Amino acid sequence: MSATPNSPSLDGPVRMTARDAALLFVLCGSIFLEGVDISMLGVALPSIKDELGMSAGELQWVVSAYVLAYGGFMLLGGRAADLLGRRKMFVLWLAVFVVFSGLGGLATEGWMLIVSRAITGLAAAFMTPAGLSLITTSFAEGPKRNRALLWYAGTAAGGFSLGLVVGGLLTAIGWRWVFFAPVILAAIIFGFAVKLIEHDTPPPRVPGQKYDVFGAATMTLGAVGAVYTVVMAPEVPVSRTVLTAAISAVLLVAFVIAERRSKEPLVRLGIFRSANLVRANIATVLFAGSFFGFQFITVLYMQDLRGWGALETGIALLVIGIDSVLAPTLTPKLVDRFGNPVVLFAGFVSLALAYFLFLDIPADANYWTGMFPTMLLIGIAFTLVYGPLTIVAVEGIADEEQGLAGGIWNTSFQFGAALGLAVAASLTATSGTALDGYHKALLVPFVATLVALVVVATGLRSRASAEPVAVEAQPTAG
């Protein structure tokens, strides 16, 4: 992941107006809300299962329905922001997100909660890339945009990690507060969003211009099929997994062929010529997969094996939230001094060490010597990885494709999360004892992080090359 040569200093004269700061607060608030919404739910699942009388298979769909809709529609959501207007997509789908996230707390049957989570995921798929592209188009590329992106990414990472803690605290009161509490924050964000986000003008539609309906259909169905295959792999026969994988592959191949031939493609395939974008998305899949797989295993270890409650689990994970303080304050200084590639490499080293220390965790491990070092190193890793990955994934991409680039990055994150969860869930159930299953599954995040280290190291070696980072949109398909 090569750094832009002679890039301006992050610690240089970066001046943000009061309106800039307020806009950044709104956009950071939305991604914090989305991160908290995902991670809080993981801690609350055992309580939801008990009260609603859901089976393990039904409970999986509380998470899977969200991931399917989010991961499947993300690219479409990103392109919709580019074509239909970023403000319109952000405000509209933020409202939908608020309503259905809150409705989840009113569910009296498992299917009600699953439906609400699916629609919440759909809303996030359109809201999140619109929010990211609002940052990349509202702040000029350079130190100001980098500063804004690092705050945005730091807030997102803080939402994921702090959500584990807040989820434990709220679940101790009642799991429904996991859905109700964020509505208050969301209402405040929505009010500021309507007032502060300026109306943007989408590209004018040329007479006779047609939207790429076939591309949108094949891309969305193929992405949904791919995520569905990953999510359901541990639960269904191998033959069914092969069938759904083949169907999604055919749909995605049809999408690529259609985009290459289309004069007005939904996704310009030439965007993937950016080596930074490709490396960043591969690293993102591995990063998200490792963390969500680890989170799944760790919560089971603490609650099912150790018998800890949701509150104890949340407190045990509290130190991971250190990234919410360090990411916006320390990371900009490190990126300015050493560049994104070095900071990313250090972050993945920290993550690999964290998972390595947890590999053979005993059933009676002492928290301070057996768990705390891992949680602290994960918090440091989030500090060093999340923000720089976000910057590299959209760096040099033309403004008219920022929504698409953001959609690709967020799709990678969600697909990685689904993949990590599916593999971890499968391995935890393949051994005679629970602890043996956890030990086997813990290899997944460790190995994924080692592969990510190789990807990042490849970027480091290419730093001195004259690799162009700007990838301008062309009038025809890639």
What is the distance between the alpha carbons of residues 306 and 347, in angstroms, rounded to a whole number?
Answer: 30
Query: Are 356 and 427 in a shared domain?
Result: yes
User: Is 72 among the domain residues?
Assistant: yes
Query: Are 235 and 370 in a shared domain?
Result: no
Query: Are 159 and 298 in a shared domain?
Result: no
Domain that holds residue 135: 18-197
Query: Are 30 and 71 in a shared domain?
Result: yes
What is the distance between the alpha carbons of residues 83 and 404, in angstroms, rounded to a whole number?
Answer: 10
User: Is 206 among the domain residues?
Assistant: no
Phi, psi of 471 (to 5 degrees): -125, 95
Query: Are 242 and 286 in a shared domain?
Result: no
User: Is 11 among the domain residues?
Assistant: no
What is the distance between the alpha carbons of residues 125 and 132, in angstroms, rounded to a whole number?
Answer: 12
What is the distance between the alpha carbons of residues 13 and 367, in angstroms, rounded to a whole number?
Answer: 44
Query: Are 180 and 325 in a shared domain?
Result: no
User: Is 174 among the domain residues?
Assistant: yes
Q: Which of 137, 169, 197 is the last residue of a domain?
A: 197
Query: Are 138 and 249 in a shared domain?
Result: no
Q: Which of 144, 173, 197 is the last residue of a domain?
A: 197
- Token reading at 422: 């599916």
User: Is 470 among the domain residues?
Assistant: no
DSSP state letter for 209:
-
Query: Are 102 and 181 in a shared domain?
Result: yes
- Token reading at 205: 């539609």
User: Is 426 among the domain residues?
Assistant: yes
Residue 253: what residue type?
V
What is the distance between the alpha carbons of residues 205 and 424, in angstroms, rounded to a whole number?
Answer: 46
Cα Rg for the chain, rounded, in angstroms? 21
Q: Do 8 and 142 meet the contact criterion of CB atoms below 8 Å apart?
A: yes
User: Is 58 among the domain residues?
Assistant: yes
Query: Are 26 and 123 in a shared domain?
Result: yes
The candidate with the shortest Cα–Cα distance to 279, out of 144, 130, 395, is 395
Query: Are 456 and 309 in a shared domain?
Result: yes
- Any idea what the CATH number is for the domain that residue 433 is in? 1.20.1250.20
Q: Do 414 and 289 meet the contact criterion of CB atoms below 8 Å apart?
A: no
Q: Kind and range of the H or E element at 166?
A: helix 143-173
- Token reading at 269: 């395939």
Q: Which of 197, 229, 250 is the last residue of a domain?
A: 197
Query: Are 224 and 285 in a shared domain?
Result: no
Structural domain count of the chain: 3
User: Is 167 among the domain residues?
Assistant: yes
Query: Are 42 and 144 in a shared domain?
Result: yes
Low-confidence ranges of the chain (pLDDT < 50): 2-12, 461-478
Task: Say what the pLDDT of residue 354 is.
Answer: 98
Phi, psi of 154 (to 5 degrees): -65, -40
